[in-house]
Amino acid sequence: MRALGAMSGTSLDGVDAAVIETDGHEILGFGETGYRAYSQDERAVLRAALGRWQGPEVAAAGEVVDAAHVALLRGFEPVDLVGFHGQTLAHEPRGRGTLQVGDGAALAAALGVPVVWDFRSDDVAMGGEGAPLAPFFHFACARWIGAREPLCFLNLGGVGNLTYVDPGCAAPEAPGALLAFDTGPANAPVNDLVQARLGLAMDEGGALAAKGSVETGALELFLAETYFSRMPPKSLDRNDFAQMVALVCELSDADAAATLTAMCAAGVAAGMAHCPAPPARVLVTGGGRHNPVLMEMLRAGLDCPAEPVEAVGLDGDMLEAQAFAYLAVRVARGLPTSCPGTTGVRAAVGGGVLSRPAEARAAR
């Protein structure tokens, strides 16, 4: 199937979209990609809805997400299926569940293509964390690059998440094939800091952090959080570590950025202790790989090479979008999309709702 995946991450920068060809097991080819940035006003609407479960802010965020996706996805050549992640506003798997805004049925009606969406709810209902969901695609990527030894994929978006992959296993749901979990905050705290202090969307290229010094006391307090000693699978909401910003509130802009960046790298290093065996390498995806300060901190804290996924021919800007294209095909074909090793769900489960254009139009 030729599938188009779309991802709007917790960094709130915009919508990524990418096409892959897959049978739901193997990657058969990569297609075109696209990106639509959120405007400053749109980003403000999304920020106002973060952490909320209902209300006018949530409805407004849904409208922004739907409009942005329609505008971007209409520009692609015809596809068989769309995987629509939506925008996560709140994530509390051991409490109220998980909330991604975005109406997949409306998107199916607008695009005239079947849409798979609401990927996380079934997993949470069966006792899983609902995140991370990209690991099954990471397994396919490890096979595609011909990996023979265990390796890790590290996604540094708003939150960091790590996938340990043993490519020698028969399938992603096989025991020991995957272990996945959120490592801690990644770009979100730095983005929030520079937005609040300087009116910038991000610390472009780590330029601000490069001028600062790490406050070791704040870093030690951060690593004392019980989250890091918890056994995976485990996941985080974007705002679970909001106190990080409080730890650096009295620091200069540069020192605060450097310290928050160091916290991201330290969370990853702490997480590596949970891997079943030492990985041969760590392949980094997501916006964080563009930050040379963060990448150098990662290399200093890890016992194996860490390099962008481009080193093996993958696209680190589009891997998450490609993942939801791949997962959409798995949902359409009745295959699992998560398992005990990735989310802690009780058994392998295929999440997601499939909305077809005719059904969606009839319901409107």
Does residue 353 form part of some domain? Answer: yes
Write down the pLDDT at residue 250: 95
- Model confidence at 362: pLDDT above 70: no
How would residue 364 be classed by pLDDT, with cut points 50, 70 and 90? Answer: low
- Per the CB < 8 A criterion, the answer to whether 282 and 289 are in contact is no
* Claim to verify: residue 171 and residue 225 sit in the same structural domain: yes
Element (H, E) at 30: strand 27-37
pLDDT above 60 for 290: yes
Residues 110 and 186 in one domain: no
Percent of the chain with pLDDT over 70: 98
pLDDT at 363 over 70: no
Write the CATH number for 119. Answer: 3.30.420.40
| Together in a domain, 279 and 327 | no
3-class secondary-structure state, position 185: strand
Same-domain pairing of 150 and 288: yes
Tokens read off for 106: 């409306």
Question: Same domain for 201 and 301?
Answer: yes
Are 167 and 148 within 8 A, CB to CB?
yes
Structure tokens at 269: 């290093």
Distance between CA 30 and CA 32 in Å, rounded? 7
Q: What pLDDT digit, counting tens, does each position of 215-260 carry?
A: 999 999 999 999 999 999 888 877 778 778 889 999 999 999 999 9
Give the tokens for residue 96.
């109220």
Instruction: Indicate whether 54 belongs to any domain.
Output: yes
Q: Is residue 89 part of a domain?
A: yes
pLDDT in tens, 131-150: 899 999 999 999 999 999 99
Domain ends where: 276, 291, 312? Answer: 312
DSSP letter (8 states) at residue 317: T
Taking a C-beta distance cutoff of 8 angstroms, is the pair 202, 194 a contact? yes
**Angle between helices 104-111 and 56-73 in degrees, nearest 10:** 30
Q: If you average pLDDT over every residue of the chain, what do you get?
A: 94
Q: Which residues constitute the domain of residue 8?
A: 2-131+318-363
What lies within 8 Å, CB to CB, of 109 at 6+ separation is 357, 360, 361, 364
347 contacts: CB under 8 Å, gap ≥ 6: 126, 339, 340
How far, in Å, are 10, 27, 328 from residue 116 at the CA level? 20, 18, 6
pLDDT value, residue 39: 95
Radius of gyration in angstroms for the set of CA atoms belonging to the chain, rounded to a whole number: 19
What is the number of structural domains in the chain? 2
27 and 161 together in one domain: no
Tell me the HSE value of 11 on the side-chain side, using a 13 A CA sphere. Answer: 26
What confidence tens digit (pLDDT) does each residue in 69-89 have? 999 999 999 999 999 999 999
**Domain membership flag for residue 141:** no
| In-domain check, residue 139 | no
Percent of the chain clearing pLDDT 90 (strictly above): 87
- Does 308 share its domain with 325? no
**Do residues 363 and 104 lie in contact, with contact meaning Cβ atoms separated by under 8 Å?**
no
DSSP codes, 68-117: HHHHHHTTSPP-SEEEEEEEEEEEETTTTEEEEE--HHHHHHHHTS-EEE
Tokens of residue 58, six digits: 């949530």
pLDDT tens-place string over residues 256-288: 999 999 999 999 999 999 999 999 999 999 999
pLDDT value for 319: 96
Residue 243 C-beta-side C-alpha neighbours within 13 Å: 8
Query: Which of 142, 139, 136 is closest to 343 using CA atoms?
Result: 136
